[in-house]
Amino acid sequence: MYFPTYRPRRLRRTPALRELVRETELSVKDFIYPLFITFGTNIKKEISSMPGQFQLSLDKLDAEIEEILSLGIPAVILFGLPETKDEIASGAYHEEGIVQLAIRKIKELAPELLVVTDLCLCEYTDHGHCGIIRDGEVLNDITLEFLARAGVAQAEAGADIIAPSDMMDGRVGAIRAALDSEKFDHIPIMAYSAKYASSFYGPFREAAESTPSFGDRHSYQMDPANAMESLRETAMDIEEGADIIMVKPALSYLDIIAAVRAEFDYPLAAYNVSGEYSMIKAAAAKGWIDERKVALEALMSMKRAGADIILTYHAKDAARWLK
Ligand code: PBG
């Protein structure tokens, strides 16, 4: 492979040649689009740090779902903003909890659209942590019982995929056992396996109103300095019954996506998180970058690193751009 015998530019000369040898393809079929569902009526409130993303009340779902379907996006992931919060996250597992209501509504509107549910307590606890608190500590094993209840409530409402994002130890196993014992053995789990304690979640916490009222999430989410640990976390989730594994965030963690891809032959998702979206939006609004090109390049990099599935706020835009 030496110049001048080999000339890499030969295969880059025309669009047709480049397309012929392209290694990675981005498709709307890869995307899961996040939705923030709020209590109340007639609400479509833009999230200031995430231009183009909204908190939506149930009655605003019709138009939203129609648009998602028309763009060919195959799946949504739901986050809930309940009317009231308490220390045991009741809204997460109540039959009439906001996400359970949204699942039923979406399934009525579009039975073929995949409904993934983020499974966590932080949107429903008055302190904003992802678990039950005692003496300022996030308790692990007690939290598992609440997560399991929430998973069953979501499945009962009609969720297609349950996606635990809390990072308690043993949660995939606990949720799997609860689903199986309630006759939901056919419902897959997409585990946030390597989920880091990342500052790139900042805008999301405005969107989901889930900022912890004290402390931070470092006692349960992973240390951004660790790579090998992501393999242990992922191996555990697979042992406990995960069907799809996930790395989150995506852009600053492409090395983790590639490492997990190399080690495991399970479907792999990457979460292109809120801060990654907001940075592109902000720079584009200033005219510093080309939003379309930069967003598509970022999404492509996640696939190139090894992701099969991408959760992204850019899903609707990207679907239009890829048409
Ligand atoms: C809930 C959850 C979070 C995100 C997804 N699920 C926030 C957090 O862990 O603090 C972040 C998503 C994003 O930033 O886009 N635990």
Q: Express each pLDDT in 41-91 by its tens digit.
A: 999 999 999 999 999 999 999 999 999 999 999 999 999 999 999 999 999
Are the CB atoms for 207 and 122 separated by under 8 Å?
no
Atom number in ligand 1 closest to CA 34: 15
From 37, 120, 192, give the residue whose CB has the most ligand 1 atoms within 8 Å, as the site to mutate: 120
- C-beta 260 within 6 A of ligand 1: no
Does the beta carbon of 207 lie inside 6 Å of ligand 1? no
Element (H, E) at 173: helix 171-181
Task: Tell me if residue 190 falls in helix, strand or coil.
Answer: strand
Out of 60, 85, 248, 281, the active site residue is 248
- Residue 248: active-site member: yes
Alpha-helix runs per DSSP H in 136-290: 141-157, 171-181, 202-208, 228-239, 254-263, 274-285
Low-confidence ranges of the chain (pLDDT < 70): none
Which mutation among 33, 47, 201, 216 tests ligand 1's pocket best, with the greatest number of atoms within 8 A of CB? Answer: 201
Contacts of 70 (CB under 8 A, 6+ apart): none
pLDDT at 27: 98
- Residue 44 annotated in active site: no
Contacts of 78 (CB under 8 A, 6+ apart): 34, 35, 37, 99, 102, 103, 106, 115, 116, 117, 118
What ranges do the domains of the chain cover? 25-322
Ligand 1 contacts CB of residue 120 (under 6 A): yes
DSSP structure class, residue 248: E
Q: What's residue 8's pLDDT?
A: 97
Give the CB-side neighbour count of residue 273, counting CA atoms within 13 A: 24
Written as six digits, the tokens of 158 are 């009609």
Count of residues in the chain: 323
> Tokens representing 51?
């231009």
Q: Residue 313: its pLDDT value, please?
A: 98
Check if 276 has its Cβ closer than 6 Å to any atom of ligand 1: no
Name, in order, each residue with C-beta under 8 angstroms of 67's C-beta and a sequence gap of 6 or more. 316
Tell me which residue has its CA closest to atom 6 in ligand 1: 165
Alpha-carbon gap, residue 138 to 287, rounded angstroms: 43
Residue 312 to residue 309: CA distance in whole angstroms: 10
d(C-alpha 8, C-alpha 109), whole Å:
50
What CATH architecture does domain 25-322 belong to?
Alpha-Beta Barrel (3.20)
Q: Which two tokens stand for residue 5?
A: 């015998």
